């Protein structure tokens, strides 16, 4: 029974990774950029949620929505200011810029509020309930249901709405999309907005679950979410979801086996293995670079 409990914990953690990984994978899909500032948008989301709940005494769900909205705007600003002008530059230039943006966000936050961690306010009485002898916390359920809801919503947006179809068209062939009358710049902005909103949501959920947030909290989850995206096949949306969940479960199992100090290493071992065995990821086709 303890194993099922661990599995539930792993899925909760994994769904946070999955939410962040979605932003990585969507942005990569559309402009072939690994947006290393994405983990910092996650951090900003956590802080926005923190201020909303602790200072402005907002309801958790309103705080979640506020964090998502502001992160969406931040994501669009990052793209317009930093990445847009590099669209025809080499990939390595864009990548270095992304790392620069990441450091800029981290140290701007530290500049204004210091590097000390903050404790997230308790928003729910943590109660556990038992199903068939498995103890499950209400928080795990909350995290899981919010994540699942957001992922379903994303699938709906990507497959059923006009902007979602435009996003898929641009990521497949930007010039052909232009010939359909699709505004490529706006579509890229929308992608950043949606990806960043999901990261913002992940930030708030992370804060509620782990209660401790700080300005550098985005670094490790950001890298792990990137690993999750690569694991699932970068650029593939369902891949990011599955990759996140797998990574979360593996980490929890490693901890449960008594190797909790090796937890972070597990993610990197997975990255190395996937790069050796199947670089295109679980869902990736063995696609060659288009010439």
Partner 1 sequence: MLKVNDIDVYYGNIQALKGISLEVNEGEIVTLIGANGAGKSTLLKTISGLLKPKRGSIEYLGSAIDGKAAQSIVKAGISHVPEGRRVFANMTVEENLELGAYLRNDRDGIKKDMAHVYELFPRLLERRKQLSGTLSGGEQQMVAMGRALMAKPKLIIMDEPSMGLAPLMVKNIFNIIEMVNKEGTTVLLVEQNANMALSVAHRAYVLETGKIVLSGTAKELQESDEVRAAYLGGL
Q: Which residue ranges make up the site for partner 1 (CB under 8 A)? A: 162, 165-166, 168-169, 172-173, 175-183
For the bound state, the minimum distance from the C-beta of residue 165 to partner 1, rounded and expressed in Å, comes to 6
For the bound state, the minimum distance from the C-beta of residue 177 to partner 1, rounded and expressed in Å, comes to 8
For the bound state, the minimum distance from the C-beta of residue 120 to partner 1, rounded and expressed in Å, comes to 40
Q: Which residues contact 238 (CB under 8 A, 6 or more apart)?
A: 232, 283
Burial grade of 226 (CB within 10 A; 0-12, 13-18, 19 or more): buried
Backbone φ and ψ for 131, nearest 5 degrees, come out as -120, 120
267-270 contacts at long range (C-beta below 8 A, 24 or more positions apart): 267/223, 267/224, 267/227, 268/227, 270/227, 270/231
- At 278 the three-state DSSP class reads coil
Q: Give the nearer residue to partner 1 in terms of CB position, either 57 or 175.
A: 175
Q: Give the nearer residue to partner 1 in terms of CB position, either 11 or 26.
A: 26
For the bound state, the minimum distance from the C-beta of residue 179 to partner 1, rounded and expressed in Å, comes to 5
H or E element at residue 137: strand 134-137
Q: Give the nearer residue to partner 1 in terms of CB position, either 159 or 212.
A: 159
Q: Give the nearer residue to partner 1 in terms of CB position, either 70 or 177.
A: 177
Burial grade of 264 (CB within 10 A; 0-12, 13-18, 19 or more): middle
For the bound state, the minimum distance from the C-beta of residue 63 to partner 1, rounded and expressed in Å, comes to 36
Q: Give the nearer residue to partner 1 in terms of CB position, either 133 or 181.
A: 181
- CB neighbours of residue 211 within 10 Å: 13
């Amino acid at each position: 029974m303890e194993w099922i409990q661990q599995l539930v914990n792993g899925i909760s953690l994994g769904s946070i990774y999955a939410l962040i990984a979605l932003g990585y994978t969507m942005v990569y899909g559309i402009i072939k950029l690994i947006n290393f500032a994405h983990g910092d948008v996650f951090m900003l989301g956590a802080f926005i949620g923190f201020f909303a709940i602790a200072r402005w005494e907002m309801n958790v769900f309103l705080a979640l929505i506020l964090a998502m909205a502001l992160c969406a705007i931040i994501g669009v600003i990052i793209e317009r200011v930093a990445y847009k002008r590099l669209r025809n530059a080499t990939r390595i230039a864009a990548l270095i810029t992304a790392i620069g943006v990441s450091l800029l966000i981290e140290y701007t936050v530290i500049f204004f509020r210091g590097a000390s961690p903050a404790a997230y306010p308790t928003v729910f009485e943590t109660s556990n309930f038992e199903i068939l002898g498995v103890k499950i916390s209400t928080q795990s359920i909350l995290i899981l249901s919010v994540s699942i809801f957001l992922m379903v919503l994303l699938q709906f947006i990507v497959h059923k709405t006009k902007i979602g179809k435009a996003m898929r068209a641009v990521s497949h062939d930007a010039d052909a999309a232009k010939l359909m009358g699709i505004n490529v710049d706006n579509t890229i902005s929308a992608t950043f907005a949606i990806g960043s909103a999901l990261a913002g949501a992940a930030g708030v959920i992370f804060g509620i679950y782990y209660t401790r947030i700080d300005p550098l909290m985005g670094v490790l989850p950001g890298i792990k979410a990137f690993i999750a995206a690569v694991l699932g096949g970068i650029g593939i949306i369902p891949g990011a979801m599955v990759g996140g969940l797998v990574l979360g479960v593996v980490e929890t199992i490693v901890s449960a086996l008594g190797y909790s100090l090796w937890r972070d290493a597990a993610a990197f071992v997975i990255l190395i293995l996937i790069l050796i065995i199947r670089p295109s990821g679980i869902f990736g086709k063995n696609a060659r670079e288009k010439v």
